[in-house]
């Protein structure tokens, strides 16, 4: 290819929003394939649950600029592009239904009378780990993770739940329809995970000038330097942090932990949410 291959230990995968979800999905794919792990993965406001099952997505008190849009993919104005999309989506859905692709990861809430829930994937694929990484059988044995989200963003809860599932995989095992699968998974070693929730910050707040933006960049740079051994310092243990408007670190607050008690993880709620770009 005209260049020397890079040592995976010098590679950090990173992304924001849907890109954060893709980064974590790639980490799962690399792990599952038995390939050498990268040095670390960074997710800013990662989109990791396409079932929209976490409470912050529908919280009316949420101050995020991301709206709640009812109607799924049917809520968009009809156009030639939408028409072509629906035709191709119908063909793909039928192909998935007729092909023998092995056991399906399915819940009845995915069967929606109003049709397709997401543009990203058909309803039959919502809980596939590489589509919704938060719902994987296990989030153990991943490279070190840095997950950053705003306290006032709609994706806050899925970042929190992902962090706990990766750092404490034997305690938080995911959706009920995956019951018993974690025990059979070869990936049960806790993942070193750092979670940072920034007070009063929206989705991907790194786009705006603020003390929290500066602090999140500093945390990101420090994480990269540590996982690539640039600082020659070991990583600290997994931690869950809340950072105030002055950039001061503290523990998570009680409302952050409510998602950990949720019994309907990975189950599409009655409302239909929004599509993230």
Strand duo 249-251 + 145-150: pairing: unpaired
Q: Cβ-count burial of 136 within 10 angstroms (0-12 exposed, 13-18 middle, 19+ buried)?
A: buried
pTM of the model: 0.92
Does pLDDT of 10 surpass 60? yes
Does pLDDT of 242 surpass 80? yes
Please give the average per-residue pLDDT across 124-152, as a whole number: 96
Distance CA 173, CA 213 (A): 32
Distance CA 180, CA 57 (A): 28
Domain boundaries, the chain: 8-261
Exposed e or buried b per residue across 79-101, where buried means at least 16 C-beta atoms within 10 angstroms of its C-beta:
eeeeeeebeebeeebeeeeeeee
Indicate the CATH number for domain 8-261: 3.40.50
In the three-class reduction of DSSP (H, G, I as helix; E, B as strand; rest coil), residue 251 is classed as strand
State what percent of residues in the chain have pLDDT above 90.
Answer: 66
Look up tokens 């950039």; give the residue: 247
| pLDDT for position 276 | 45
CA 94 vs CA 79, 87, 119: distances in Å: 23, 11, 16
Distance CA 109, CA 126 (A): 11
pLDDT tens-digit map of 63-101: 899 877 555 676 667 889 888 988 888 888 888 777 766
Does pLDDT of 273 surpass 60? no
In terms of pLDDT, which residue wins out, 16 or 118?
A: 16
Mean of pLDDT over the chain: 90
């Amino acid at each position: 290819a005209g260049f020397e291959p890079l040592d995976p230990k010098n590679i950090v995968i990173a992304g924001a929003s849907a890109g954060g979800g893709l980064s974590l999905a790639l980490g799962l794919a690399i792990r599952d394939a038995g390939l050498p792990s990268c040095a670390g993965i960074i997710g800013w406001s990662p989109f990791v649950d396409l079932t929209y099952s976490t409470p912050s997505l529908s919280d009316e008190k949420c101050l995020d600029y991301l709206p709640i849009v009812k109607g799924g993919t049917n809520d968009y104005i009809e156009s030639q592009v939408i028409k072509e999309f629906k035709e191709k989506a119908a063909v793909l859905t039928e192909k998935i239904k007729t092909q023998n692709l092995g056991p399906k990861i399915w819940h009845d809430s995915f069967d929606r009378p109003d049709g397709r829930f997401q543009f990203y994937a058909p309803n039959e694929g919502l809980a596939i780990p590489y589509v919704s990484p938060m719902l994987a059988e296990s989030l153990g044995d991943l490279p070190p993770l840095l997950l950053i989200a705003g306290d006032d963003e709609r994706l806050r809860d899925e970042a929190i739940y992902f962090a706990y599932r990766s750092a404490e995989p034997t305690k938080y095992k995911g959706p009920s329809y995956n019951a018993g699968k974690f025990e059979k998974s070869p990936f049960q070693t806790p993942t070193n995970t750092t979670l940072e929730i920034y007070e009063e910050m929206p989705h991907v707040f790194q786009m705006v000038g603020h003390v929290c933006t500066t602090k999140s960049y500093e945390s990101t740079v420090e994480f990269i330097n540590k996982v690539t051994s640039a600082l020659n310092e070991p990583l600290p243990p997994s931690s869950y942090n809340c950072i105030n408007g002055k950039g001061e670190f503290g523990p998570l607050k009680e409302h952050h932990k409510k998602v950990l008690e949720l019994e309907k993880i990975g189950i599409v709620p009655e409302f239909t949410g929004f599509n993230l770009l």
